[in-house]
Amino acid sequence: MTNFLFSILGNIAGLWLANKYIEGFVVNGKIQDYVIVAVFLGLLNLILKPILKLITSPLILITLGLFVIVINGLLLWITDSAFSFITIESISALVGSTLIVSAMNLVVGFLNKVYKKSKNAL
């Protein structure tokens, strides 16, 4: 359960940073909208991403893992299609926002591991 909560926090932070710094990526909404989108994106990552990674595992191996960025971009594009208050205007905005959201999820995932280790140490 904590993994999913940390994933939601990473998605919220990534979406906010992408909205702030990527031209062409716009989230027109309040914090509730960020939470809704983050939960949806977290569910896509939980359910759909492992299936896509399994199907595209040869491409992931050939590109030394870089194809996972394409999968993340696809999931972000699906999220854009599902909600009217998110707008991705160009491919460059999609790539930039994907990199930011992925980086934030990487950082938050690392913090989650640190949290679990410190919790087990007690």
What is the pLDDT averaged over residues 16-43? 94
3-state SS class at 29: coil
Which amino acid is residue 92, in one-letter code?
S
What is d(CA 108, CA 85) in angstroms, rounded to the nearest whole number? 25
Beta strand residue intervals within 1-122, DSSP E: 25-27, 86-88
Q: What is the pTM of this model?
A: 0.90
Cβ neighbours for 104, distance < 8 A, ≥ 6 positions apart: 10, 11, 13, 14, 17
What is the reported pLDDT for 20?
Answer: 95
Q: What phi and psi values does residue 87 have, to the nearest 5 degrees?
A: -130, 125
Confidence band, pLDDT 50/70/90 cuts, at residue 122: low
Given a cut of 80, whether residue 52 has pLDDT beyond it is: yes
Question: For 54-112, how does the pLDDT look when each residue is reduced to its tens digit (9 = 90+)?
Answer: 999 999 999 999 999 999 999 999 999 999 999 999 999 999 999 999 999 999 989 98
Where do the domains of the chain lie?
A: 2-114
